[in-house]
Structures are given as C-alpha cells and as structure tokens.
Structure 1
Amino acid sequence: MQFTETQLKGAFLVEIEKISDRRGFFARIFCAKDFEERGLKPPIAQTNLSFNPNKGTLRGLHYQIPPVTEAKLIRCTKGAIYEVIVDMRPESPTYLSHIGVELTDENRCALYVPEMFANGYQALTDGAEAIYQVSEFYTPGYERGLRYDDPVLNINWPLSVSEISLKDANWPLLESVIGEEK
C-alpha cells in the first residue's frame, strides 16, 4: 500500500499496489502493521457498508467526540463517491479546514480519516457503495455532525443534493458548536 498524506495532517490517501498476472491482480487493502508503523490508529472495531441507489445522495458529516473518537478507512467498492473530511481538532493548525477526494471502484483508493475529523460523502453515481472500517464502536451519545451546507465550511459539493437524512439536514450550524469539543 502507498500512503500519501493530504494537506490535513494525519489524513492519508491509501493506494493499493497491484500484483498482476493473466488472472487479473491481487492487492492488500488493509494491514494493521502498515498503519501502526505510520503512527495511525488501525480502524478495526467494526466495518460498515452503505449503499446509495441515487446519485446526489449525501451522507454526513459525522464524527464522535472523546472518549470514543473514531479513525476511519473509507473505500468506494461500487460506482463513485466524493468524500469530504473536516478537521475538528481545536489545537490543529488546519482546524475547520476540509478536503474532498473522489473515491471510485476504478481508482480503488481509500481515505484514512484520523480521529476528530468529520466525514461525509456524496454519491456521484447511481448504486454507489462505500465500506467504512472504523476504530471505535458507534456510540450515539458521543456522535456529532456538521451541516453539509454550513456557510463557515463552504464545501463545494459536485452535485445538487438529491437525498439526505433528516438528521444530517438538521445538524446545527458550525458557529453554534465551535468550542463544544474543547
């Protein structure tokens, strides 16, 4: 696997290294040792699958606060998604900064999302599927979220939002939650 750090410290694009022959290819997509060698928390407590029948569907932006912060490894296994992460670490020089990357079944890349980063994605194709490996168990009392259309973040989503959950549409605006995690 090849790890390329993004402009948000601790967040990595993870690319596979293919071993190819006439049958196709083989590639390792996760190895706890490779993550630990880079000082990253291996995301292994649970694995989640999300399916999105319609392009434009938006999920997120979600994160958990201490003591159950989550690191995630997100991969698109069918179709394409636009994955966005937001640095929610108050002490970080990139606090409230975000990046977006396209993850597809063709590029087979994954995004490593550190603890205290909000993440969400938009389906770019009908039938998009994503797999999340998560380092902690989902703990409802510690879940937080950001609005996808928060003016402080000014995220440029590639498509109009066609579907979103009521919960995700109604997260409070960032200005009302800044300092909550301090």
Structure 2
Amino acid sequence: MPYAACAASRDIPLIASDKTPLAHDAVHFMRPFVEGVIARTTNDEHKAQFAFAAARAEQGKTVQAQPDYGPAWCELGVIDAALGRKGEALREGRRAVELLPVERDSVNGLHMIEYLAMTAAWVGEKDLACEQLAKAIRYPNAVSYGELKLMPFWDPLRGEPRFEKLVEEAKKPVALK
C-alpha cells in the first residue's frame, strides 16, 4: 500500500505540486484524495468530506473517459467508500477486479483485489474484505505483513479474528509453485 497517506497535515506542501501524489503501480490517487485521507487521519471530517467529494468529481471524469480501465474504477471505488457510498463503492471495486483480473495482469490485477478489500473494509463489509485479502496474500507481491499491521487503511478490520489471522499468515513466506 502507498505510504504517502501516512503524511501529516504539515506534509501537504510536499505533495501539493504533484497531481497524483499517491501511486501504487497503475493506481494513482489524485491530490484531493490524499488531502481527504490526511484530514480524516487528523479528525477533520468536514475537510475530509470536502476533499473526497472533489476527488470523486475528478475521478468520475477519468472513469467516463476510460470506462474499461480497471484502475480508474478501483480508485473511484475507494473514493466512494471514503464518502460512505457503500453500494456504489462495492460495485466499482468489483468492476475493477472484473476489468483487470490478476490472471491478466499479475501486478495491477492484484492491486484491484487489494483495493477491493480496502473498499469493503471502509464500508463495513468485513467478510468481503477478509475474503479478498485471503486471495491477495497468496501472491509474492501482495500487501505485506507490515502494511496490514501498521497502515491505517486497515484500521476498520482491527480486532476482527479473520483479519488478525490473515495478518499472521502474511508474516510467512509465499510458497512459489
């Protein structure tokens, strides 16, 4: 997962000049999304909602321009999850996985699964989140133990026994076939 989202509000000037300061291979979150994450992390919900709404407006244009591009749908799903738009977020996340399956792109397809898990976690769908993470951690380039253990993206799953079990499984080396 991207580490830039852990930035504090004092770090906003560092990301201000970059249109997509939060990138994970083909997944590129725009500046308003990062500002929303920072605002939410610092408990400024009003600013977070404003930033996420701006991010959604920008990302909606991207999806409209590239309706068959999985990462665009993936990003929109995460943004809608941040806005509390559960149904839309889950549909968009699933669409991303459908458009870019891991069998077609082992790097970015895996990110679609990981971000669907995050989307599900953010909207309270813990079963779906854990199901997707269980798929993801089987791959060598998947979300790591440290990311699952420390990144605030996964906070909604903390204390969930299935998630804690997946965190422990992520410690183990991936068996290559």
TM value normalised by structure 2:
0.33
Greater Rg over alpha carbons, structure: 1
More helix by share: 2
More strand by share: 1
